[in-house]
């Protein structure tokens, strides 16, 4: 979608910007859950020797397309750039100007390309808060999300008594900001709407790899925030928390990241902290059954399912905080790592041959008669072919929450997957993985959540209105 002018005259956050077009990544198929990149190069001669990073060298270093992947700030610049640049910073680039629309058939943040920064946060309604208070909260949250996603400041007068925008994201454009809202199993009890709770929101079954912390699992309400700028993402997180005020309290909150747009020489699938490409097998929007697999169909608004009609156009988000035991993983030789996954680490190609996008040949054997993709390889066990066609759209963030006294990193994946029905997506695949995935010894599921994410809000609506005012 096209970018928007960020001039202060029209109330936008940034200044002196040019219009941008497309998404922040500019090169992705929507919804594939992949990262992006642009051309790279190096300076030479005295320029390189002195470290004088001129605009010419900067543009040459990333290529013409890569220039769209750099946020250089408004005219006047900041001292951090002045220390490495000899000329004035340029106007807001397409990364900052890229805007995702709030209103639509589906909520943003589901098929939106992966963003560089993310926050996920769950809230519990405060004692005494019910349906009326939840509706007022969703109205406030929707209004704030719409403004921030357009690159506009909050209006002030937030529910916690703050009378002005915090200013955290001043000078930045929307930066592909998305804010996505969901309801947990307990939300329907708290609001007296149990009759409208869909069967797909039944609690997930236990799995043998679970080491779940109940304090970091579940929740009445769930919010996912993503943006290609860290300050823009944090600004949205603060605004959402401030609007919750006394209506809802934070239950848990987690921070994540992905590769920054423009960091790689070409568009490519994102890597996780194990170094593996993550999202190769994602369903593609171009596939005829994509909507059927990912979004709740509109026929839920008819007949016996009419009480679940509020979820039409929505989806289910399964959220898992997966700790990666990186010390153990990194000690494995490369060929062992590749057999655990079933794909080459360098390019994500299946061990049966070809490129990343080549279909796996699960029956192909090597000269020794052994399967090239082992029986317990993660890619084999999780493939739709081995799970009666079960599929989900993976859209994760990596996380790193520090290093323990023994030097062990608390790092891994904020796994978020989307599907029209968890019993036909996450659950059957995870059950298979639970019974013999070669990757299991190197990961630990430490938190979990399942949320029903309503369809997108139409103009003049707030998210969840069709449920809360039913």
pLDDT in tens, 182-232: 999 999 999 999 999 999 999 999 999 899 999 999 999 999 999 999 999
155 or 259: which leads in pLDDT: 259
Range 395-408 average pLDDT: 96
11 or 18: which leads in pLDDT: 11
pLDDT of residue 196: 97
pLDDT of residue 87: 55
* CA–CA distances in Å: residue 259 to residues 115, 139, 227, 230, 239: 8, 33, 12, 12, 25
- Which of 55-69, 144-158, 411-425 has the highest mean predicted lDDT (pLDDT)? 411-425
Task: List the single range of 69-78, 172-181, 422-431, 440-449 with lowest mean pLDDT.
Answer: 69-78
Question: Over 80: is that where the pLDDT of 323 sits?
Answer: yes
Question: Over 80: is that where the pLDDT of 382 sits?
Answer: yes
Question: Over 50: is that where the pLDDT of 274 sits?
Answer: yes
pLDDT of residue 162: 81
Q: For residues 457 and 56, what is the distance between their CA atoms, to the nearest angstrom?
A: 44
pLDDT of residue 42: 40
Percent pLDDT > 90 in the chain is 70
Question: Over 70: is that where the pLDDT of 19 sits?
Answer: no
Q: How far is CA 386 from the centre of its chain?
A: 26
pLDDT of residue 92: 54
pLDDT of residue 32: 40
Question: Over 50: is that where the pLDDT of 394 sits?
Answer: yes
103 or 387: which leads in pLDDT: 103
Question: Over 50: is that where the pLDDT of 36 sits?
Answer: no
Contacts 24+ apart (CB under 8 A), 44-51: 51/84
Question: Over 70: is that where the pLDDT of 321 sits?
Answer: yes
Whole-number mean pLDDT of the chain? 84
Q: For residues 102 and 369, what is the distance between their CA atoms, to the nearest angstrom?
A: 54
pLDDT of residue 302: 58
pLDDT of residue 304: 59
pLDDT in tens, 135-145: 999 999 999 99
Question: Over 60: is that where the pLDDT of 24 sits?
Answer: no
Confidence of residue 459 (pLDDT cuts 50, 70, 90): very high
299 or 343: which leads in pLDDT: 343
* CA–CA distances in Å: residue 37 to residues 62, 68, 282: 10, 11, 19
Greatest CA span in the chain, whole angstroms?
74
The active-site residue, picked from 229, 278, 421, 459, is 278
pLDDT in tens, 37-94: 444 344 444 434 444 433 333 333 433 333 333 333 333 333 343 444 455 555 556 7
> What's the predicted TM-score (pTM) here?
0.81
Q: For residues 90 and 83, what is the distance between their CA atoms, to the nearest angstrom?
A: 15
* CA–CA distances in Å: residue 339 to residues 165, 346, 347: 51, 13, 14
pLDDT of residue 389: 85
Residue 228 falls in the annotated catalytic set: no
173, 96 in Cβ contact below 8 A? yes
| C-alpha radius of gyration, the chain, whole number | 23
């Amino acid at each position: 979608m096209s970018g928007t002018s960020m001039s202060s005259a029209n109330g936008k956050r940034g200044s002196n910007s040019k219009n941008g077009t497309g998404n922040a990544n500019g090169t992705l198929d929507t919804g594939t859950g992949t990262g992006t990149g642009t051309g790279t190069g190096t300076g030479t001669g005295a320029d390189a020797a002195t470290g004088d990073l001129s605009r010419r060298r900067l543009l040459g270093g990333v290529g013409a397309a890569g220039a769209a992947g750099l946020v250089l700030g408004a005219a006047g610049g900041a001292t951090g750039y002045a220390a490495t640049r000899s000329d004035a910073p340029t106007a807001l680039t397409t990364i900052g100007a890229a805007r995702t629309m709030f209103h639509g058939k589906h909520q943003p943040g589901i098929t939106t390309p992966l963003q560089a920064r993310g926050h996920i946060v769950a809230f519990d309604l405060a004692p005494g808060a019910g349906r009326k208070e939840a509706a007022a909260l969703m109205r406030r949250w929707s209004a704030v999300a719409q403004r921030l996603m357009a690159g506009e400041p909050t209006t002030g007068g937030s529910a916690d008594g703050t009378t002005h925008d915090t200013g955290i994201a001043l000078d930045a454009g929307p930066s592909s900001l998305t804010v996505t809202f969901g309801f947990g199993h307990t939300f329907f009890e708290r609001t007296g709407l149990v009759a409208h709770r869909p069967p797909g929101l039944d609690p997930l079954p236990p799995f043998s790899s679970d080491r779940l912390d109940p304090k970091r699992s579940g929740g009445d309400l769930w919010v996912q925030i993503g943006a290609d700028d860290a300050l823009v993402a944090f600004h949205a997180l603060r605004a959402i928390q401030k609007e919750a005020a006394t209506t809802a309290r934070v239950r848990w909150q987690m921070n994540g990241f992905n590769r920054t747009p423009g960091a790689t020489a070409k568009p490519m699938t994102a890597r996780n902290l194990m170094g593996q490409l993550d999202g190769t097998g994602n369903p593609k929007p171009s596939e005829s059954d994509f909507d059927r697999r990912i979004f709740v169909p509109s026929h839920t608004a008819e007949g016996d399912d009419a009480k679940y009609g509020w979820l039409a156009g929505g989806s289910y988000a399964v959220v898992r905080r997966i700790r990666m035991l990186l010390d153990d993983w990194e000690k494995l030789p490369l060929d062992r790592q590749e057999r655990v996954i079933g794909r080459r680490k360098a390019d994500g190609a299946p061990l049966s041959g070809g490129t990343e996008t080549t279909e796996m040949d699960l029956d192909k054997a090597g000269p020794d008669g052994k399967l090239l993709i082992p029986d317990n390889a993660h890619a084999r066990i999780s493939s739709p072919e081995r799970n009666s066609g079960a599929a989900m759209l993976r859209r994760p963030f990596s996380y790193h929450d520090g290093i323990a006294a023994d030097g062990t990193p608390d790092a891994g994946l904020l796994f978020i997957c989307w599907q029209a029905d968890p019993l036909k997506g996450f659950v059957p695949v995870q059950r298979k993985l639970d019974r013999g995935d070669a990757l299991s010894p190197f990961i630990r599921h430490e938190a979990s959540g399942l949320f029903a994410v309503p369809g997108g809000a139409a103009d003049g609506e707030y998210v969840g209105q069709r449920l809360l005012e039913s």
